[in-house]
Amino acid sequence: MSAYKPLRLALFFYELFRFIDALKEMRIFSFINDLGQSDSLQMLVWAAPNMAFPLMTLFLFLDLAAYKPYIPLYIAGKCATLALTLRLIAGALFYPQQESGVRSLFFIFFLTLGDFICIISFVLIRSGLKKSEKNNGMLALIDGKDDKNETGDET
């Protein structure tokens, strides 16, 4: 399990950077006082659940064995975020605003690519965990058979 530790650390830093940059890009803090605007509520709805991703990757980095049941939840959340990001791209292409420039399109592309890489990474980590558990189970099974043969030979 320690073989995935650098990858899990990189995913944690990506998620942390992604969340901080998203807050800066979307200017959440300036929208909090103006909740009457339609954009501000959408931004807060996006930001609130995305605070969990850096925490999830931190816990998965610290103790993968204890938090491995949460990997499917992380993957499902990333798929939902990816779908929302693709919807934002479609909205930016069909309804361009004067405020959104090259930086916003690059930011949205960066989020989409990063989320896709995160999904693939945790799918690989999860499949690697299943393989290592299967190998450990086979080793335990082989060790168990050897013990039975040894005890059978002694009697």
* The pLDDT of residue 6 is above 80: yes
pTM for the full predicted model:
0.68
Q: Please write the tens of the pLDDT for every residue from 40-81.
A: 566 666 667 778 889 999 998 998 888 888 889 988 988 888
SS3 state at 35: coil
Per DSSP, 33 falls in state: T
| Alpha helices (H) along 27-101 | 28-31, 38-50, 52-62, 64-67, 71-94
Q: Please write the tens of the pLDDT for every residue from 9-24.
A: 999 999 888 888 777 7
Q: Please write the tens of the pLDDT for every residue from 123-151.
A: 888 888 888 777 777 666 676 654 445 55
